[in-house]
Structure 1
Amino acid sequence: MKGQQPIESLVYELSRLPGIGRKTAQRLTYYLLDQDEKDVESLAQALVTAKRETKKCSLCSNYSDQDPCEICANPKRDGSILCVVEHPKDVATMEKTGKFNGYYHVLHGVIAPQRGLGPNELTIPELLTRLGDHDFKEVILATNPTQDGQLTALYLAQLIQPMGIKCTRISYGLPVGGDMEYYDAVTVGTALENRVEIKEKK
């Protein structure tokens, strides 16, 4: 529509966000246009600041404004156990359970052949280097219970087990096909406590 190019541009940019369709993008656009300019500027500045000041932790690859991140820098955590998750948001979910006091490694995705995502697109090389440099006794594979999450967990187990490290998988109290961020802390905590060892097939 003529005369609405700035609006259409904002709708388009918002609709590119995950889970945001065009109707939701339009609703958000008109909501923002109704706000005071200083409030919109605060939002824009927060986006830019977060992007500029947030980095990946050199140890676990989680997002943080410091390196190493607060968790990796905490010597009181259990250095014998490492929990591997798909995304930074999963670290927050795990922390809410209060059931885990080890360290984390964030893959930033899963192996998904149908989307052209292989091991080299994830932080798997960094994970293997870390396991070789540190004396971890157990690795918890906490990828989501989806087809790609399961594929990734099995792939990692095949790489890690020859290193003499115990591999466990969070239990399936989590619905198959689900996403960890949508489960409550009790559900995730129970799945973590009831994890099972992945044993190499002979």
Structure 2
Amino acid sequence: MNDPIQKLVEIFSHFPGIGARQARRFAYYVLTRDSVQIKNLIDSIQEGKKTVIACSECGRLFSRKDAKLKLCDICADSKRETSLLMVVARDVDVESIEKSDIYHGYYFVLGGTVPILDEKPETRVRISPLQKKIEEKIKTGLKEIVLAFDLNPEGEHTVQYVSKTIAPLVEKNSLTLTLLGRGLSTGTELQYSDSDTIKNALQNRASVK
């Protein structure tokens, strides 16, 4: 029989940014909770699997109150700026940007970043859906695409891959392609940046060269 402690450690070790030591701490923490806390955890996960879906427009996860609902609150908001589309790696990046209260355009969640040595980047991220989304947004007035990725080697590699892939659409339709500017320091992850830092980065965004 498999060791239940080790099984939990293996499960937690697959979580983003979690190493073996943290995974083991999580395992022991969970196993020392009382039955009520464990039940709440299990119920929350099961409820989330039933009600949380990916937005059909941007790919962002959201909790729907109506079974027929397919759009998140951002994509369903007709008052947002149709001329702007920001491409981010993860759902949590959308939350960080929204807290800054300076960006009011739409989003597209790429689903991750592209490792530098990856030979099949198209299997890592949602690049084809992004191209289709850009084509759709052009019809409703899209003028600028903002690439908002972590300021680290993998994030910069993703910028290169995405900008190269969508270049034909950008050039054909005279779109502006920009990056977050001054404000974010090297190595910074968007999800850990405060609102003022993100505001500065958005206000000082620069064109992709």
**What TM-score, normalized to structure 2?**
0.84
**Partner Cα distance (2:179, 2:151) in 1:** 10
**Partner Cα distance (2:58, 2:38) in 1:** 34
Aligned partner of 1:71 among 63, 71, 74: 74
Aligned partner of 2:208 among 195, 198, 201: 198
Q: Which residue of 2 aligns with 1:15?
A: 13
SS at match of 2:99: helix
Shift, 1:4, TM fit: 8.7
SS at match of 1:114: coil
Uncovered stretches (5+) of structure 2, i.e. residues with no partner: 65-69
**Partner Cα distance (1:13, 1:112) in 2:** 22
**Partner Cα distance (2:126, 2:11) in 1:** 28
SS at match of 1:93: helix
Counterpart check, 1:104 vs 2:102:
no
2:116–2:157 CA contact under 8 A, matched in 1: no
1:145–1:172 CA contact under 8 A, matched in 2: no
Counterpart mapping for 1:106-121 below 5 A: 106-121=109-124
- Alignment RMSD, CA only? 2.1
Aligned partner of 2:147 among 137, 141, 145: 141
Counterpart check, 1:167 vs 2:177:
yes
**Partner Cα distance (1:151, 1:26) in 2:** 32
Decide whether aligned partners of structure 1 residues 18 and 153 sit closer, same or farther in structure 2, where only a CA change above 3 A counts: closer
Uncovered stretches (5+) of structure 1, i.e. residues with no partner: none
Shift, 1:95, TM fit: 0.3
Shift, 1:52, TM fit: 3.4
Q: Which residue of 1 aligns with 2:189?
A: 179
Decide whether aligned partners of structure 1 residues 128 and 20 sit closer, same or farther in structure 2, where only a CA change above 3 A counts: closer
Aligned partner of 1:150 among 156, 169, 179: 156
Which sits farther off after the overlay, 102-111 or 159-168? 159-168
1:167–1:198 CA contact under 8 A, matched in 2: yes
Aligned partner of 1:45 among 43, 46, 64: 43
Decide whether aligned partners of structure 1 residues 117 and 41 sit closer, same or farther in structure 2, where only a CA change above 3 A counts: farther
**What TM-score, normalized to structure 1?**
0.87
Shift, 1:113, TM fit: 4.2
Which letter does structure 1 place at the counterpart of 2:143? K
Identity of aligned residues (%): 31
